[in-house]
Structures are given as C-alpha cells and as structure tokens.
Structure 1
Amino acid sequence: MDHLPDTVNKLLSSSHTETYVSHIPAAINEENISTTPVIVGVDEAGRGPIFGSMVYSAAYMPETFENCLNTGDAEDLKFGFDDSKKLTDVKRDELFGYLWRQTTDENLSEEKQQSIEKLKENIGYVITGISARDISSGMSKYPPTEIYNLNEQAHDTTMEMIRILKEDNKLNIKHVFIDTVGPPASYQKKLEMKFPDLKFTVSKKADSIYPIVSVASVIAKVTRDMHLKELNKIFLREDINLGSGYPSDPNTVKYLKENVTSLIGWNPVFTRFSWNTTNNYLTENNEKYGTLEIKWEDDFITTGRKRKNGGDIVSAMKPSMYDGVLTASSFYDIN
C-alpha cells in the first residue's frame, strides 16, 4: 500500500505485535555512527482504547539537532511538534508526512522544502505496535500470577526498542527521554538497571517538555490512527465506523452495541477483550445483547470470583459433596 507509511504497512502484515525500524538518517552515517551523540525520545499512543494496537515509538536524532525543534532558538525550524494530543489530525499527518514521504510538496516554499529535507536527514525512529490480540492474551493469562499487565508490556516494549537502537543499530545513545508509564522514579530505576551505561529522564508530560519525545508522540499517534482506519476498511463494511476506540466515542459505543455476536463478540484482530467495557457486554448483559453465558474453568477455580447472581464461586462448589476435589460433576454443579 504505497499511500501508507511503512510503519502502518508493517502493522497490517500481521494480527500480532510487529516492529518497524526506519533507516538510519543521513546525518548519522556509517563513518560517524559510533561518534555521533544521539538523544532518544519514547512515547505511546492507544493505551486506553478498546480497539486497535497500542503503538510505541522511539524517535532519535543527533544531539546537535535538538535546537532545531521547537526550542525558540534562532536555529528553530518551527515545524510545530508537540504532544500529539494537542495537535489536530491534519497537523499530525503533516508532521509525520515530512518524515515518511519520499518526495516533498513542490508547492511549498524553497525554504520550507529545505527545512523538511534537513528534518529527514536527522530523524530516525523505531515503532512497535502491540496488537489488540496480544494485549488481550497477555492480560488474560491464567493463573492470575501469570498475567502480563499493560504496564509490563509497555516497559518491555520500550526496553526492546532501546536495545534495537543501541545494539542492532549501534547508535551512540547519550540520553533517553521517556513519557512515563506508571510511577516515574521506579520506571527510571528499572531502565537504569537494564541499561546502566545510558542516561534516562522519565517524567510525566515528557511529550510536551522534550522535543524528541514530541516527535515520537506524533509518529506513534499517526501510525495507530492510520492502522485502525485500515483495519476498519479491511474487516468491516464501509458504512460501519469503529470510531477512535475510546469508550467515550459515540461511534465506538454504537459499533459495540449493534455488532456484538453471541459467541465471539467482535473481531479479535482489533478488539481488546481484556477491557472491562467489552467484557461486560459478554458477561453482564447476556439477555440484553443476546450473548451466550460461558462458564470458564478459570473462573470456577479462582478464589474470590463472583457468580452472576452473587456469591463466591468457590463456596458454591460445595466441596464437601465431592471430598474437596474439583471434578467434572462439581465443576458444573453451580447455578
């Protein structure tokens, strides 16, 4: 799909987690790759939605290029990178387009075209899209002690992207700026233990504070949004709109209510079944939406889980009737 960024095409190539690594920019060539100090910024998009991947991006650039991105200095190229949530869809697409499109709009001024080329020559990135299917799989593991929660998935993804840049791409990383997931102090300590030779700054609102994190924020957001739109086109009719995937989005709510199937629910390629919003449609509103009530084995043998009509599932098993042994009979003897 030539009209899409390579980041999006990579995610479309599989229903599982995928990683895309851009070419190393011209300003960091083979001759000076080990001597050019590089700074890295990490941010994500799509942590909260019901639909689509959670996309992580690690953008990087030579340390000397930092003053060219929204710093107010004389060298500032004034592209407008910022926390992606503060930007319009059009502005985000424009900014990421500067990085991934092969050609520059000839209608732009010569000065603008030169600025865009300079941006391309200095910015590289890696993205990982954690698919909805893998998010659900990780968060639904049994027993509960094995659950791979969203924070852990995010941390591991970030560390793997840093490893790719450091070890595979051989970049001379001097400082990594990260928009935090969870408490900043403990996350930063975790990263420093993993990469003791690197300097980290983990903070809230890093995508508004550090320009390179703003770049990562835009890359992640545009990639995620484009990917979800393409999934909508591929798997659904043209008149069906998934919306943004957030529970507050009217289009998302409308899709959930009108397209739930009795057994599967929704397409697992783009749906996170580990979210309470989707789970409730399938477990709490069986009569309303015509979904089937399923008795999962895990629920029956996990202490403290509640039955639909109240009461503790384990207590309801009446273990004394079966000498305390969970048998096929005791398993189904719950009403």
Structure 2
Amino acid sequence: MVYGICYCPLSKKQDLEDVKVADSKTLSENEREKLFAKVDAAKDFIGWALQVLSPNYISTSMQQRSKYNLNALSHDAAIGLVQSVLDNGVQLKEVYVDTVGPAEKYEEKLKQRFPGLEVTVRAKADSLFPIVSAASICAKVARDHAVNTWKFIEDLEELDKDYGSGYPNDPKTKEWLAKYLDPVFGYPQFVRFSWSTAQVILDNKAVPVRWDDDEDDGKSAAKENTPSVLSFFARKKDETKRQPHRFFHERKLETISDL
C-alpha cells in the first residue's frame, strides 16, 4: 500500500487546479502517468512525498499478537507523512485528508496530534480537493510501478508474472491467487496474507494448521495436565505437620497452645 502527500502554497491553489488533477481511481493508467508528470514538473510550487508499506509488513503487523489493524496503519502512515513535511521546514496551515474509518473521529485525532493546523477529513476527499487528488495520483502511480516491476525474493522462476492489478475486483488477480497457492506455505511475500481475498482462498484450499499454544485451544490435554504457576505458591490444605528441631526432641519439649 502506498500513501501520498502533496503540498503547495495557498496562493497557488488556482495553479494547482489548472493542472487538472482528478481522483486517481477515475483515471486510466496512461492518464495518471501524464498527470503525475505534470505534478512532478511543477516543482516550483508543488511538493510531494510517499510512504510505502510492503505486503509483508502489513501482514506481519495485522497478524501479530497485539492487533494493529489496517485503519491504524493508514492513520499512522498519514500522520508520519504530515510530520515529515513539517520536519523538512514546510509551513503547513491547512491539511486535507481522505478518510479511513469514521471521518469525524479521524479528524479529531489529527487535530489533537497537530493542534496548530486546520484539518479537514472527508470521505472521497480525493474527488473534492485538488491537493488530495494530486497526492492520490502520486501514490497510485508509485503503486502501479511497484506491482508491475515487483522483484520476487523467493526462487520462483516458473511463476507466471501476469497477475493483473492486484485488486480484488480483478479476475486475473483472483485466478493467479488460486493457481499459485502453496497448500503449506501459502504465497510469496508479494501477497498480503491478511488480505480478505487471499484469506478466503487460504481457508478453503490450504492445509489447516493447529498451533499447540493457541490461546483459544483450551481443551488440549497438555493444558489440562499442566498446573498453574500460582499453584506452586498456594498454601496446601493438607499440609503435613512440621517436624520440630532435634534440640526440642532430645529434651522432650513440646509446643503448647494453652497456658
């Protein structure tokens, strides 16, 4: 997943509109490439930056014990981009963000994180605000290039590289996922295991795996027979009587409870 940020002087809003950027999802790949070239050429008043999250990083984050969902990943990526622009000396005043999750909560979160900025979070912001449209184009072009030129780190010489766009509505992508599923190891790191499209195929066709230390498996014999650590420190109900020291035994001394 690729997240993008664009910024320009408030006095150049009209110049940005003249570039005629639009929501990247409404454009063809060729149209996005041409508009990205225009945005990149306008360095005198437009700046942009990206943050790329690899499929393996997203899967690892979402499937760790302490859950880190996709919304949190997206929010942190956006916050990181805004902070990086500020750290590079750009004097931001207004920030426009395409929402992930409830817009009001996301907007409040950003306002608390950046109290000196005027933050606006909206659904479909990339079709409402030209600066967000420009950012979406930069991110989408970068993603297309990453997908089209992906270098597999695994030894997969016979693997068909015609996997389509990588989106769930692409039948070529679904066909590729079904064809190249390894029943034990799943997919190469190019595929996000936490992606619901891949997860459905894994659940239906991959070999099921049972982990002995699964927290949900409370019926295993190992767990039933393994005592709790706390049990070693608990006072025993039928604790045997403690034998007195031989000093008392030799002198025939006994402990009394009443005087």
Give the TM-score band, short-chain normalised.
0.7 to 0.9
Q: State whether residues 232 and 242 of structure 1, in contact with CA within 8 Å, keep that contact through their aligned partners in structure 2.
A: no
Structure 1 spans left out of the alignment, 5+ residues: 1-53, 71-76, 101-116, 287-291, 303-312, 326-335
Residue 61, structure 1, aligned to residue 17, structure 2 = no
Q: 2:251: which partner in 1?
A: none
Residue 252, structure 1, aligned to residue 159, structure 2 = no
Distance in structure 1 (CA, Å) of the matches to 2:135 and 2:223: 58
How much does 1:258 deviate? 1.2
Residue 139, structure 1, aligned to residue 54, structure 2 = no
- Report the TM-score, using the length of structure 2 for normalisation: 0.80
| Residue identity matched to 1:258 | K
Aligned sequence identity (%): 35
How much does 1:233 deviate? 8.1
| Residue identity matched to 1:134 | Y
Deviations 1:85-132 (A, max 9, x none): 1111111011112244xxxxxxxxxxxxxxxx5x23111111001110
Distance 1:324 1:280, change over 3 A: farther
Matches within 5 A, 1:319-330: 321-322=224-225
Q: 1:330: which partner in 2?
A: none
| Residue identity matched to 1:122 | F
| Residue identity matched to 1:294 | V
How much does 1:224 deviate? 0.5
Q: 1:85: which partner in 2?
A: 25
Which structure is larger by alpha-carbon Rg, 1 or 2?
A: 2
Distance in structure 2 (CA, Å) of the matches to 1:65 and 1:258: 50
Distance in structure 2 (CA, Å) of the matches to 1:279 and 1:206: 30
Q: State the secondary structure of the residue aligned to 2:193.
A: coil
How much does 1:209 deviate? 0.9
Distance 1:152 1:321, change over 3 A: closer
Distance in structure 2 (CA, Å) of the matches to 1:294 and 1:282: 11
Distance 1:264 1:233, change over 3 A: closer
How much does 1:279 deviate? 2.5
| Residue identity matched to 1:228 | V
Q: 1:219: which partner in 2?
A: 138
Equivalences, count: 227
Distance in structure 1 (CA, Å) of the matches to 2:130 and 2:223: 64
Q: State whether residues 98 and 120 of structure 1, in contact with CA within 8 Å, keep that contact through their aligned partners in structure 2.
A: no
Q: State whether residues 180 and 187 of structure 1, in contact with CA within 8 Å, keep that contact through their aligned partners in structure 2.
A: yes
Q: State the secondary structure of the residue aligned to 1:231.
A: coil
Matches within 5 A, 1:117-128: 119-128=42-51
| Residue identity matched to 1:97 | A
Q: State whether residues 232 and 241 of structure 1, in contact with CA within 8 Å, keep that contact through their aligned partners in structure 2.
A: no
| Residue identity matched to 1:296 | W
- Report the TM-score, using the length of structure 1 for normalisation: 0.62
Residue 274, structure 1, aligned to residue 194, structure 2 = yes
Distance 1:253 1:214, change over 3 A: same
Q: State the secondary structure of the residue aligned to 2:134.
A: helix
Say which is worse superposed, 273-282 or 257-266, in terms of deviation.
Answer: 273-282
Distance 1:265 1:320, change over 3 A: closer
Q: 1:301: which partner in 2?
A: 215
Q: 1:105: which partner in 2?
A: none
How much does 1:248 deviate? 2.4
| Residue identity matched to 1:89 | E
Q: State the secondary structure of the residue aligned to 1:173.
A: coil
Matches within 5 A, 1:25-40: none
How much does 1:285 deviate? 2.1
Distance 1:127 1:324, change over 3 A: same
Matches within 5 A, 1:16-55: 54-55=1-2
Deviations 1:310-335 (A, max 9, x none): xxx43x4368952676xxxxxxxxxx
Q: 2:85: which partner in 1?
A: 165
More strand, by proportion: 1
Q: State the secondary structure of the residue aligned to 1:69.
A: helix
| Residue identity matched to 1:161 | L
How much does 1:232 deviate? 6.4
Match of 2:109 among 181, 187, 190: 190
| Residue identity matched to 1:61 | C
RMSD: 2.4
How much does 1:247 deviate? 2.3
